Amino acid sequence: MNDTLALLQKFNAHPDSRCWYVAWNPKGTLLASCGGDRTIRIWGREGDSWECKTVLQDGHQRTVRKVAWSPCGNYLASASFDATTCIWKKKNDDFECLTVLEGHENEVKCVAWAPSGNLLATCSRDKSVWIWEVDEENEYECVSVVNSHTQDVKHVVWHPTQELLASCSYDNNVCVYKEEDDDWECRATLEGHTSTVWGLTFDPSGQRLASCSDDCTVKIWKECQPEEGTGAAWKCVCTLSGFHGRTVYDIAWCPLMGALATACGDDGVRVFKEDETADPDQPAFSLSAHVPKAHTQDVNCIAWHPKEAGLLVSCSDNGEIAVWNYQSGV
């Protein structure tokens, strides 16, 4: 098996500050990054390298923790430690701040768009998850506040095709939400990690959810038939342990190849491959590729390109972004 993870480019994206997160636009033509310098940077490909196209620096007063593109690619949402979420509208090669969403008591840790583009989710250190509805006039209204976690909520992610939302927290749990009678409620609480859960990713079909944690493990959860009257049911079908030396901060399921990539506090980037001959109810993953010193400091985020199989980016506490090419020998 000749699986490789080759470095294509590495560049300083946020000098003298952490680069917290990177996100591809839906077409894969632009990459947004955000950092401790309170800016969002938009990167575009020029030949074989990535160049900064624009810097958004007037939206936030503190660290920008996460960014997310709308499914249509015309809007970018940014979540900040200043307790606000900004919505930016793309205008040709520039962006303008359309609106600022307020209401969380303190740091907003993540923002994510539903696949329809009509809903937005935010989560915060205030232990809450907010669901926002977007109308045709680009007006945003908070339609639900869910308080299912007992600690800081780190991440929110939507199911790839359904209006189903998952969140993870400092309380070691994962919660899954669905709308019921015009209100959003927690339908399942996934317990199993023994420390903070930092990141979540659905597989391309949405039938499984992967979580990564401060306990140095990755868990794969599968939706299963619930008992009558008990609502949604998810069970842990696989735990990847012994691969990571420190906290696993982020995880991403490749939409094109099915590979699973992780970003780790031990400075490493890893790619795991699933054994396709294994029982779907007892999946098996093997470490396919590993770059031990992908960055010189903690790796905060990992993101697969939506259109080019094997193209992967990571970002780090040292402000760098690295672009990788993963190739599977199978």
CA distance 130 to 83: 13
Number of domains the chain is built from: 1
Beta strand 183-190 with 108-113 is unpaired
* φ, ψ dihedrals at 142, nearest 5°: -75, 120
The domain containing residue 267 runs over which residues?
4-327
Domain CATH for 194: 2.130.10.10
3-class DSSP state of 20: strand
pLDDT by residue, tens only, the chain of 330 residues:
469 999 999 999 998 899 999 999 999 999 999 999 999 999 999 988 899 999 999 889 999 999 999 999 999 999 999 999 999 999 888 999 999 999 999 999 999 999 999 999 999 999 999 999 999 888 999 999 999 999 999 999 999 999 999 999 999 999 999 998 889 999 999 999 999 999 999 999 999 999 999 999 999 999 987 666 555 689 999 999 999 999 999 999 999 998 999 999 999 999 999 998 888 788 999 999 999 999 999 999 999 999 999 999 999 999 999 999 999 876
Per the structure block, which two tokens stand in for 160? 């790839």
What's the pTM value of the predicted model, to 2 decimals? 0.95
**DSSP SS3 for 282:** coil
The first and second tokens of residue 219, run together, are 């868990």
Element of type H or E holding 99:
strand 94-101
201 to 49, 52, 246, 254: CA distances (angstroms): 28, 27, 19, 10
What CA–CA distance (Å, rounded) separates 303 from 114?
18
Query: In this structure, how many other beta carbons lie within 10 angstroms of the beta carbon of residue 234?
Result: 19
